[in-house]
Amino acid sequence: MKIVQVSSLWEATPPPKYGGLEVVVSNLTEELVRRGHSVVLFATGDSRTKARLLSTYPRALYRDGVPWASLYDTLIHVSEAVRFAEVWGADIVHNHLSYRSLSSMSLSKVPFVNTIHGVLDEKIITSDILRTFNHYRGQPYISISDYQRRHAKKLNWVKTVYNGIDVSSFPFESNPRGDYLLWIGRFTANKAPHLAIELARQAGIPLKMAAKLDQQSPKDIDYFNHEIKPLLKPGVAEWVGEIGHKEKALLYKDALAFLNPIQWDEPFGLTVAESMACGTPVIAYRRGSMPELIIDGETGFLIKPNHEDQFLAAIKKVGTIDRAKCRQHADSNFSVTAMTDGYLSVYEKLLAK
């Protein structure tokens, strides 16, 4: 099959350190190539892939201070991908960008599908975004969790495909050597690292944090300076910086548990899957997609939102979790193999019409 994958301009695919969408697209692209498909990846020029790489920009826009919400750059990027797909004779175009790309995708003469990687909650996104999705509601969409669909039921959803990770690249540990709890992500209020610090402090267990601080987001910088920095103390909470995959995997495998006290309805949590792949249970507030990712009492604990007492009780019980079950759950449900199988079934379904 001849497949065009359209990835982000914000980061390289895969990103050198922190990333979400770009990690998923990279995992999918490399697996499709491994299975013998002919794949062209539209991404930034500093991306790494075994597919054919075509780029409209030499490197990640984040590196040059270009705003994430750049409509102009997205339109150029997606339009070039659509044009190339027609000339190349692609079988399908798989678009991973959001509402900014939909007008360009509507012009495609090649069958296509859009994976939505972000939120669709009207309390979070603007009315303009909602109107854009509504206008193009007939396009085929893939959700990354069933929960994600709740706020956009009128879209033409064709399948839910969970994000996939390379489970083999995450070392399993049945007996963690660390005496710490872990939080990994981006310093932003809705991911609630401040709550993770407070919960770890009350539990009397040190917290290690591997996180990105977005230097282009005044809001995130202000949040870090006022809500996080004052709490970073030896023996309480340590920020090890923004780290790469290998360092991250080592942190996961030796952690007692991964804390995820989110304050938003996250459509998926890649860190949740990564943690379980190492055998490390996840304790999370029961919000968004978390009930789809975590088996309560088996691969972690789901806590009623904002019930800190229950969260603390779960931390004390984390030793009762069979870490082998965490690994098995991640491998069965959130592997690159499972994700690629899901996407190929969508491609075949669309091409059969």
Q: State residue 215's pLDDT score.
A: 86
pLDDT at residue 140 tops 60: yes
The per-residue pLDDT for range 193-207, each reduced to its tens digit, is: 999 999 999 999 999
In this prediction, residue 127 carries a pLDDT of 79
Distance CA 164, CA 336 (A): 4
pLDDT of residue 123: 65
Q: What's the mean pLDDT when you consider all of the chain?
A: 95
Between helices 270-277 and 323-333, what is the axis angle to 10°?
130
Distance CA 278, CA 173 (A): 6
Percent of the chain whose pLDDT exceeds 70:
98
Q: Is the pLDDT of residue 294 over 60?
A: yes
Give the domain ranges of the chain.
2-164+335-351, 167-333
Query: What whole-number distance in Å separates Cα of residue 6 and Cα of residue 53?
Result: 10
Burial 188-215 (b: 16+ CB within 10 A, else e): bbebbbbbbbbbbbebebbbbbbbbbbe
The per-residue pLDDT for 69 is: 57
Query: Tokens 């249970």, residue?
Result: 281
Positive or negative CA dihedral for 186, 232, 260, 165?
positive
Q: What is this structure's pTM? A: 0.94
**Using CA atoms, how far apart are residues 260 and 262, in angstroms rounded to an integer?**
6
What pLDDT score does 128 carry? 83
Instruction: Report the CATH architecture of 2-164+335-351.
Output: 3-Layer(aba) Sandwich (3.40)
Report the C-alpha gap between 328 and 258 in whole angstroms: 17
Residues in the chain: 353
Which CATH number, 3.40.50.2000, 3.90.79.10, 2.40.50.100, 3.20.20.80, labels domain 167-333?
3.40.50.2000
Four-residue CA torsion sign, 111, 115, 120, 124: negative
Select from 308, 84, 74, 280 the least CA-distant residue to 199: 308
Position 341 scores a pLDDT of: 99
Span 97-112, average pLDDT: 94
List, in sequence order, every residue forming a beta bridge with 302; answer none if it has no partner. 284
Average pLDDT over residues 104-110: 96
10-33 pLDDT, tens per residue? 899 999 988 889 999 999 999 999
Q: 100 vs 275, which has greater pLDDT?
A: 275
pLDDT at position 151, please?
A: 87
Please indicate whether the domains covering 2-164+335-351 and 167-333 agree at the CATH topology level: yes
Tokens 């270009």 belong to: 66
Per-residue pLDDT for 302 more than 80? Answer: yes
Q: Is the pLDDT of residue 337 over 60?
A: yes
Residue 67 has a pLDDT of 66
Q: Which tokens go with 335? A: 């592997």
Q: Sorting pLDDT into bands at 50, 70 and 90, what band is 122?
A: low
DSSP 304: -
Q: Is the pLDDT of residue 213 over 90?
A: yes
- What would the mean pLDDT of 278-297 be, rounded to a whole number? 98
Q: How confident is the model at residue 144 (pLDDT cuts 50, 70, 90)?
A: very high
pLDDT in tens, 33-79: 999 999 999 999 999 999 999 999 999 988 887 766 577 888 999 99
Phi, psi of 343 (to 5 degrees): -70, -40
Q: If you compute the radius of gyration of the chain from its CA atoms, what whole number of angstroms results? A: 20
